[in-house]
Amino acid sequence: MRKFTLGVCMAALLTAGAANAQETVKMGYIDPLSGGGASVGEVGLKHYQWLADQINAQGGLMGKKLEIIPLDNKTNPQEAVVQAQKAIDAGARYITQGNGSSVAAALSDFVTKFNDRNPGKEVLYFNYAAVDDSLTNEKCSFWHFRWDANSSIKMTAITNYLKSQPNVKKVYLINQDYSFGQGVRKLAAEMLKAKRPDVQIVGDELHPLLKITDFAPYIAKIKASGADTVITGNWGQDIALLLKAAADAGLQANWFTYYAGGAGGPTAIKQTGLQHKVYDIVEGNPNTAIEAAQKQEEEFRAKFGVTLWYPRAVNEMRMFAKAVKEANSLDPKAVALKLEGMTADVFDGGQGTMRKDDHQFFQDMYIRSFGPLDPGAKFDEEKTGWGWKQQGKIAAADTNVPTTCKMERP
Amino acid sequence: MSAALTLRDVRKNFGPTAIIRGLELEITQGERHAIIGPNGAGKSTMFHLISGRIGVTSGSIELKGQEITGLAPYEINRRGLSRSFQVTNIFPKLSVFENIRCGVLWSLGYKYSFWRFVDRLRDANERAEQVLDLIGLGARRETPAGILTYAEQRALEIGITIAGGADVIMLDEPTAGMSNTETEQAVALIRKVSEGRTLVMVEHDMSVVFGLADRISVLVYGQIIATGTPMEIRANKAVREAYLGEEAH
Amino acid sequence: MLQLITFSTLNGVLYGMLLFMMASGLTLIFSMMGVLNFAHASFYMIGAYFGFEISRRIGFWPGFIVAPLLVGVVGALIERYGLRRVHKFGHVAELLFTFGLAFVIEELVNMIWGKLPVDYRVPPSLDFVAFRLFDTTYPAYRMFMLATAIAMFAFLILVLKRTRVGLIIQASLTHPNMVAMLGHDVPTVFMAVFGVGAALAGLAGVIAGPALVTQPAMAALLGPILFVVIVVGGLGSLGGAFVASLLIGLVQTFAVAINGSLKDVMGPVATTIFGELGGVTLAQIAPLLPYLMLVLVLIFKPTGLFGNRES
Amino acid sequence: MSETIRTTIAFALFAIALALAPVVFPSGLALTMMSLMGVMIIFALSYNMLLGQTGLLSFGHAVYYGLGGFCAAHAMNYVARNKLGVPLPAIPIVGAVAGLFFGALLGAVSTRRAGTVFSMISLGIGELVAAFAGIQRSFFGGEDGIATNRVKLAPFFGYKFGPQIQVYYLIAFWCFVCVALMYMLTRTPFGRMCNAVRDNPERAEFVGYSTQRVRFQAFMLSAMFAGVAGALAAINFELMNSQAIGAGTSGQVLLMTFVGGIGHFFGPILGAMLITFLQISLSDITKAWMLYFGLLFILVVMFAPGGIAGFLSIHQPLLRNGRIFKLAPSYLMASVPLVALVLGMIALIEMAHHMLVEAASDGAKMRLFGLAFDGASPLPWLVAAALFFGGAFGLKLVWPRIDEAWAVAQAEGKKA
């Protein structure tokens, strides 16, 4: 209940008007902290609080302490807008969010309009996990920066990897029926056709989002199609239930996923016993990361009992601190101008660049598979005894997807 | 004199059971007509059939020469027939005055109107006030109907029934469950409100029936076995055997 | 094709029987008490979690017996100390009580067991392949679920047709005011009915938990479908609930198996007439079909397929 | 006549309150919150036209709110794109028309019956429309929804409605208009017949009214006002997405209306304000806020089925003849165990939540009411449990006194 006092402050705020004295740099963390999405949102929050502590231990931002304000958006875009307003009222000029592309689109739109209408009070939005392509294409905004690889980049990486896998012959696509899932499906079909014209797409399924309790009928269909590989963008319960039904029916296929590593995913895979059959595409792998990253991973796990899921959050905060330093200012506009085109060291090793055209971050990507830990590998997941094993690395340069972004710069 | 209500070979079956078995009845305009008969004879069912609460199996019903068979209750009501219920049937959360006014609104042509204030409808309010006086509930004007005494609720029931100015009034056991004094008051009320209208009533209390009715019909086992003036009915042998004989003991 | 039909039928019947295990309790509670119990699926969820807790401590089989009983006790307590108090305020208040209850139960489950799925496993004794058709396997555990559901159904039929209690229940299904007239201790009967209904849902949860994932959203996913089942089948009709359960189970499963869309049937004209709807496959809209059935059935036959009362 | 005057005064006070609220609460958050309250007041009152006035329990009222909002968002985009001279304050009319249209369309099938059948059809239609919203992407915009920009419309007397304060006054204006209209509706022949149909549909048929027609008309008008609320939401957020149309929003409006009190016209207004306030601020204070929501709902159903308005209205006659102070000693006496009970309950929930959810990563140390302690030690648990059970027991002891005080006060009130 440390936040009880915050609540009281907020009640006072209602009458007192906007806070003026800014002793700390405030960043609003607007993600689900209640309901089904909270399991992810809570872990994200730990990342940011931990990263803020690190920055503060090194002297803060221009001598001021960085403070994370947790705000619960209840996975609802309209609610997220209210929470953003709350963050701004509390004096935050930076907000960060990741879960849900619809929320991200709403926040990006809100921030853009807000800055337009309140010159001199601009707010900057850092996106660490919403991957919908449109955010850095037709809906791009100068005030939005994304550190997670967008959907096209991830699919480029997956299909590049599949180029080197000749035993993949028949591919089945199953995705959630909403904009992200449809995007994944379209990208997979296009890219496979371009890179592996010999591969046959034997099924292309869209199922309702988070509404299916029994995937057995879908698995029956996949089996009937004779697929050897399944590509899916499913997340949350939709990936866990899908894999479980697959194991029940004895489906022997390789799974290329975006989010099998998400909360509960590893537990589900372990339960199904699918050894090194489930792959995911990420920006870092603890078992093969550089030593500095492994050390941080150990520290994080010891402290919070969870995996450091978001290496990209580390990249985000490091680059934020760097931009403040280079701009020698805490003004969001100045920081944004420094972030554009910035190249920086990446948590897992190597370097990455924030592309100026669309504010999309590019770095090396990794294909991993999940199974019993190799000797010498340190990190398992969700206490299953199984861990991720690197299967391929796709260089940043090879994922350089084009953008249609026409950015309006202030 | 022309007929207010005409029933021709009206039948009603519930599943395989015939409850009403070929009713033939003509009620003259302006008369007070009582329906009597033993329990289970089908008196209430007959009321439900006439008022449209349930549909007939076969036969026809005419109201003032117009066919009303198969019409919905509200359509029959609009053609000038209004009824009360054996089990008190009022609007419990509305005040006594509102109850009466609900009975008045349609007949004055206000229909489903949502562009004028009900409190400003002078004619409706005056009519409601008159009915309120008539049934003697003026002092309970603002009381929610649900907390009235039983006798008051019965009076209100009659008030709602006559409020719309229908010229055929059907009362289903208006004095059931009342004490002697209450019954006397109720009879006076019924006499007052039925002035100039056709009254059809089901009643068990023979003193009420013979005191009020111009004519009486006897319904036994789904059929009318006799119709006539109180004198004729008293004298009717079949009636005495089938019905009154039992009552007389 | 044959294997698709076989497995779809099996899965559909299984899903339908699971639905029936819950719907039977729900329709009993509704018919006798007039309560549309929004928290019914929550008892299913509690059943799964109780089963999980017991199975990881003692084993699956003790959980299989004990967990439904515990859920029944929880249900009876809720009736005794919550619902009964609300009874005098009318049916809307009762319904809203269960509405709030569903909310609270979900939050408590969230708090106690966390938001992530728990590791509720199929018992080793049932963890094998029941049979194989072509190259698709069917797990034994699913056969066990089916057997349990059928046994439950047979048991219900026996109780209803052969015992005095069953006769009273049957009478009250069609004539809700009858029970009171029979001179039985109505509040106790209500408590028992609610408890038994909850226990049935709990049993469904215990056996469904390991096969489907045990997680806090499992109640919310199934809740509305249960209403569809009892309303489509006809309020107060156990036979109707049975038919509707199977119907919805099969429709949902087969809709998934069929890839057709209006466009496939009518050609490109479909998209000109129906817009985006024309290109949507049946599989995509499978979970909607129950609601479509609900609305259509109620419009054309407000008493449901086999019912004879509207409320 | 006195009632007319009293009503006029009440509405004048309401108008003044709406006008002065931003002066008292000037912060950006307060403005956002009050704007949302205005929207929700209209929405909840429109819902009560069904539940409280006509006795129809709907599980799909958000459909009309959402559709009104989507139509308004599209209208704003259309007006802005084609540079039509329509100013922003006229947009809610689009919502009203959309609400009315869909209310007529879907109401025609759903109001043929009352009771359970109506409720279930509304549930089914709600689910269908929500799912349809996911399929018909060109209109509903998929998950992202339809974004719009209110500043791009023609200025209204120089106002462009960029700043929240201007939007607040726009919403306040419409809120006042809609509340007044809905109040007036209850005073018409139609409004009375709604009550009659709610109380006794059979009797209503026998005084000449088609209950189906009354329900249908009530449904359409209710959907129209819900459409206005949706349009105002679209203006306020500049975004409409499919969550606004779903079961969650339908449940929320039911919660607001019921907690406020369905038996009184002003009940839903109180409910909308309270629930909106809690929704926005409770999540900052406690992570278990959803649990508190559910408990609040259950407690209201169990102990105050008339809602806040029902509770307040017990005191109305006493307030009028100045006898309310007679209750003060009993209330004072009851407040001690009540406070203990509430504090104990909060402490138990918060400690349980901390130990179950957060202790694994943050440790057992926690703070509550400004006190720091170790959640794993038994002492705080004993204190909390003592507060809770002591409070419950104490309340049970003093309850007869309150009942008595109420009875006495009310009896005296009647005599006066």
Q: Over 60: is that where the pLDDT of A6 sits?
A: no
Q: Over 90: is that where the pLDDT of D360 sits?
A: no
Instruction: Spell out the residues 6+ positions from residue D126 whose beta carbon is closer than 8 angstroms to its own.
Output: D59, D60, D62, D63, D246, D247, D250
DSSP 8-state assignment for residue A399? G
Q: Do D284 and A3 touch (CB under 8 A)?
A: yes
Total tally of structural domains belonging to chain D: 2
The per-residue pLDDT for range D19-28, each reduced to its tens digit, is 999 999 988 8
Which strand (E) or helix (H) includes residue C221? helix C218-233
Q: How many CB atoms lie within 10 A of CB C95?
A: 20
- CA torsion sign for C166, C172, C178, C180 is positive
> Shortest CA distance to B51 belongs to which of B39, B61, B37, B41?
B61
Q: Which residue type, as a one-letter code, is found at position B84? A: S
Hey, what CATH topology would domain A3-149+292-362 get?
Rossmann fold (3.40.50)
Q: Do C284 and A214 touch (CB under 8 A)?
A: no
The per-residue pLDDT for range B48-73, each reduced to its tens digit, is 999 999 999 999 999 999 999 999 99
**Domain identity same for D118 and D76:** yes
Q: Which residue of B has its CA nearest to D221?
A: B114
Domain with CATH 3.40.50.2300 in chain A: 3-149+292-362, 152-282+365-399
Closest to A217 (Cβ–Cβ): which among C142, C221, C253? C253
Closest to D208 (Cβ–Cβ): which among B107, B118, B119? B107
Closest to C212 (Cβ–Cβ): which among A210, A214, A263? A214
The per-residue pLDDT for range D201-258, each reduced to its tens digit, is 999 999 999 999 999 999 999 999 999 999 999 999 999 988 899 888 999 999 999 9
Total tally of structural domains belonging to chain C: 1
Q: Do D120 and C298 touch (CB under 8 A)?
A: yes
Domain A152-282+365-399 has CATH 3.40.50.620: no
The answer as to whether C65 is a domain residue is yes
Q: Do D350 and A1 touch (CB under 8 A)?
A: yes
CA distance D300 to D288: 19
Tokens for C126? 């049932």
Reported as a pLDDT band with limits 50, 70 and 90, residue C176 is low
> Shortest CA distance to D223 belongs to which of D386, D43, D90?
D43
Q: Do C298 and D117 touch (CB under 8 A)?
A: yes
The answer as to whether C200 is a domain residue is yes
The per-residue pLDDT for range A321-379, each reduced to its tens digit, is 999 999 999 999 999 999 999 999 999 989 999 999 999 999 999 999 999 998 888 89
Domain that holds residue D365: 321-415
Q: Do D196 and B102 touch (CB under 8 A)?
A: yes
**Domain identity same for D254 and D374:** no
Q: Which residue type, as a one-letter code, is found at position C103? A: F
**Domain identity same for D355 and D223:** no
Closest to C15 (Cβ–Cβ): which among A207, A214, A218? A214
Q: Over 80: is that where the pLDDT of C173 sits?
A: no
Residue spans of the domains in chain B: they are: 3-248
The region, left, alpha or beta by phi > 0 then psi within -120 to 50, assigned to residue A62 is: left
Instruction: Spell out the residues 6+ positions from residue D399 whose beta carbon is closer than 8 angstroms to its own.
Output: D334
CB-count exposure of residue D154 (10 Å: 0-12, 13-18, 19+): middle
Q: What is the mean pLDDT of chain D?
A: 89
Instruction: Tell me the nearest-neighbour CA distance from A307 into chain C, angstroms.
Output: 15
Residue matched to tokens 């259509």: C296
Q: Over 50: is that where the pLDDT of D391 sits?
A: yes
Residue matched to tokens 């054309």: C300
Q: Which residue of C has its CA nearest to A269?
A: C119
Reported as a pLDDT band with limits 50, 70 and 90, residue A238 is confident
Domain that holds residue C175: 2-222
| D108 vs C279, residue with greater confidence | D108
Determine which of A106-115, B212-221, D1-10, D26-35 has the lowest per-residue pLDDT on average. D1-10
Which strand (E) or helix (H) includes residue C273? helix C269-274
Which strand (E) or helix (H) includes residue B12? strand B3-14
The answer as to whether D44 is a domain residue is yes
Reported as a pLDDT band with limits 50, 70 and 90, residue A18 is very low
CA distance A213 to C211: 10
Name chain D contacts of B148, Cβ cutoff 8 Å.
none
Q: Do C136 and A249 touch (CB under 8 A)?
A: yes
Q: Do B116 and D188 touch (CB under 8 A)?
A: yes
Q: What is the predicted pLDDT for the residue at A9?
A: 46
Name chain A contacts of C108, Cβ cutoff 8 Å.
none
End-to-end CA distance of chain D: 21
Q: How many CB pairs under 8 A join B and D?
A: 102
Q: What is the predicted pLDDT for the residue at D374?
A: 79
Q: What is the predicted pLDDT for the residue at A16?
A: 44
Name chain D contacts of B97, Cβ cutoff 8 Å.
none
CB-based touch C/B (3+ pairs, under 8 A): no
The answer as to whether D300 is a domain residue is no
**Domain identity same for D103 and D230:** yes
CA distance B107 to B112: 12
Domain B3-248 has CATH 3.40.50.2300: no
